[in-house]
Amino acid sequence: MSLEQFQSGYHPQSEPGSESFYSGWMSRCRAIYFAVVLVGGLAGCSSSPSGPVDGWMVAANRGQPPRVRAAGVERGWASESDVKVATAKASELFWTPGMPAEVRIAAVRSMASEPAADAALKRLVRLSLPHESNHEVMVELCSLTLARRWIEMTPGLVRGLSLSVPDVDDGNRVEAKTLTQLHPGRSLTEIALGVLTDPGAREPDEPPGLDLRRRARIDAWNLLARTDPGGEARRAWADQEINKEVFGGAVRAFVHDTGVLPRTGEELVWAEGVWREQAGRAWLGEVREAVALLSPMHRAGLEMRHLEPVRLARGGPWFDAPRSALYAEVERRQAGRTIHVRSIDQIHRRGPNRERVRDWVNELGWGDLLSILVVDDAMRQGAAVREFLKFADLDRRDVSTEYGGALFADPQGAPTIRLYPPRPGERAGDERFIASREMLDETGTALAYFHFHVQPRRFRDVAGPSRGDLLTAALLGRTSLVLTMVRPGVLNVDVYFPTGAVIDLGEIGPGEAGS
């Protein structure tokens, strides 16, 4: 099957994936360009009143239609005597923000027509595949990859495919079809596992401190979370001796000690961070002992985010309780509290915002309900409330960012709070919190993440997570909290999960702080 069979709105005269396709395009583009010139389509764009038209200037001119600008790329390329100069100009057009797809595609095709530009073209494709958001450009890059049989683009294609597209099946995406044609007879799961084991050699132009091979492995795991939902292939991969030092040691440790398989790529990094530290291994030993006491039914649905609540709940009244009892207790607590449902926008793709436990009865497992109760108990201890109110006031005074951090339990089980204010370069305004890499690396044993909503004059309207907050929770795999200042000195607490479930825990304020 050719790429032509799954290109949407893209019907070249020659078959994509063939060298003749690119040479044919050049002649067609030249004809279009001169036709436009003859009818005056480029009037006013020449380098001088009587001089020749500068194709590069036409291509860069935002006032011209995309088809005219694309023809300008071909004109500029044909008129440039130095291939290196032409390659640099075409590459600059390709990477310019907001550049129309037609112009970017023209830049790629021009480079593909000149063998001396192959190295630069291959670098452009390699860097673009993991992040390309335009479908037409992605189709072009995949077509070229098949035409040249660039097997080395496999990690980039896997990385691109790892980013899910709502309502689009993975197997129907151009990246998936390209991968399966590059690797006949292999499934997407097998291809991703291959990248996990060997993401290719380090590129010579890779900046110091940037490990793209590691990033490819993490993204391969993200793809496997969808193609291998039960985890059988990943468990088998981790058991292979060759993978002992490639995340496999951490995966084996968590699967063996807790039965839990890291789900997303960030959960994989999370597991590795815990496993490689002595304190983390000691924590994992305590988790193993607690999990071993659970019934098989309770263990079956555990995720990474549930392990610390299970450890903390051991010996308490909820540890052996059935799911129905945990649900009833959460419902009882909500019934006696003031609930503030976010009203400024709609955070779920379908239906209104929902924050009652009964709204999520089918999405909350035993581990989630246990987490809600453990978090709720920790949040309402006086020392924790005082810290949260103090940090919320710091956030209120700083309009450059939202504040956030992680909720822990000390060795005696008392809650402790670590604040991680974003660094100067990570401050994206008063309505966004960006978790630093330092925070993610140092909070592997945390009970939950948190951030504040303390924007002035909005209060109750923003009580609860935003759509972006839910996306972040899904990426990180963490139980998360948002604390909204609904009136001076009073915070509303919402807990939310990677599944999208949001549960309002009511208000905390001076009453608890004084206890």
Nearest to 59 by CA among 38, 81, 36, 28: 36
Does the residue 189 lie in any domain?
no
Which of 148, 177, 212 is where one domain is finished?
A: 148
- Mean predicted confidence (pLDDT) in 300-319: 94
Of 148, 177, 209, the residue that ends a domain is 148
Instruction: List, in order, residues 6 or more apart from 270 with CB less than 8 Å away.
Output: 262, 304, 440, 444, 476, 477
- Greater confidence (328 vs 54) lies with 328
Question: Does the pLDDT value for residue 154 go beyond 90?
Answer: yes
Residues 303-327 have a mean pLDDT of 95
pLDDT score, position 103: 97
DSSP state of 335: H
Asked, for residue 173, whether it belongs to a domain, the answer is no
Q: What is the mean pLDDT of residues 83-99?
A: 96
The band of 183, judged by pLDDT with boundaries at 50, 70 and 90, is very high
d(C-alpha 223, C-alpha 158), whole Å: 7
The whole domain housing 81 covers 3-148
Local confidence band at 394 (pLDDT 50, 70, 90 cut-offs): confident
Q: What is the DSSP string of 473-507?
A: HHHHT--EEEEEEEETTEEEEEEE-TTS-EEEEEE
pLDDT band at 247 (very low <50, low <70, confident <90, very high): confident
Of the two residues 203 and 245, the one the predictor is more confident about is 203
Q: What is the mean pLDDT of residues 239-252?
A: 80
Return the percentage of the chain with pLDDT > 70, whole number: 86
Asked if residue 176 is part of any domain, the answer here is: no
Query: Using CA atoms, how far apart are residues 483 and 406, in angstroms rounded to an integer?
Result: 12
Assigned domain for 435 exists: yes
Containing 452, the helix (H) or strand (E) segment is strand 448-453
CA separation for the pair 124, 180 (Å, rounded): 22
Q: What pLDDT score was predicted for residue 248?
A: 78
What integer best gives the mean pLDDT of the chain?
A: 85
Report strand pairing: 404-409 vs 415-419.
antiparallel
pLDDT at 286 over 90: yes
Coil, strand or helix at 5 = helix
pLDDT of residue 402: 81
Look at residues 122, 148, 174 and tell me which one is the last residue of a structural domain.
148
- Higher pLDDT residue, 110 or 435? 110
Residue 17: predicted pLDDT: 39
In a domain, 508, yes or no: yes
pLDDT of 31 over the 50 cut: no
Q: Where are the alpha helices (DSSP H) in 336-479?
A: 366-379, 382-397, 437-442, 467-476
Q: Are 334 and 506 in contact (CB under 8 A)?
A: yes
Q: Are 291 and 307 in contact (CB under 8 A)?
A: yes
Split at pLDDT 50, 70, 90, the class of 186 is: very high
- The C-alpha atoms of residue 186 and residue 51 are separated, in whole angstroms, by 56
In sequence order, what are the residues at sequence separation of 6 or more whose Cβ sits closer than 8 angstroms to the Cβ of residue 411?
Answer: none
Tokens of 414: 């008392």
Rounded to two decimals, the pTM is: 0.81
- Residue 251, token pair as written in the block: 């995966």
Residue 330 contacts residue 356 (beta carbons within 8 Å): no
Q: How far is CA 174 from CA 27, 155, 396, 446, in A?
A: 27, 15, 46, 39
pLDDT tens profile 339-357: 888 877 777 777 788 889 9
Contact 392, 508 (CB under 8 A): no
Spatial distance between the Cα atoms of 481 and 495, rounded to a whole number of angstroms: 5
Q: How far, in Å, CA of 515 to CA of 509, rounded?
A: 11
Q: Which of 8-17, 52-61, 363-372, 459-468 has the lowest mean pLDDT?
A: 8-17
Q: Would you place residue 266 in the very low, low, confident or very high pLDDT band (cuts 50, 70, 90)? A: very high
Structural domain contains residue 479: yes
Number of domains making up the chain:
2
Q: For the chain, give the percent of residues with pLDDT over 90.
A: 63
pLDDT for the residue 456 = 61
Q: Has residue 282 been placed in a domain?
A: no
Q: In what order do the strands lie in the sheet with 404-409?
A: 415-419, 404-409, 448-453, 480-487, 490-496, 502-508
Mean pLDDT, range 268-276, rounded to an integer: 93
Contact 14, 180 (CB under 8 A): no
* pLDDT given at position 226: 94
Q: Count of CB atoms within 10 A of residue 13's CB?
A: 8
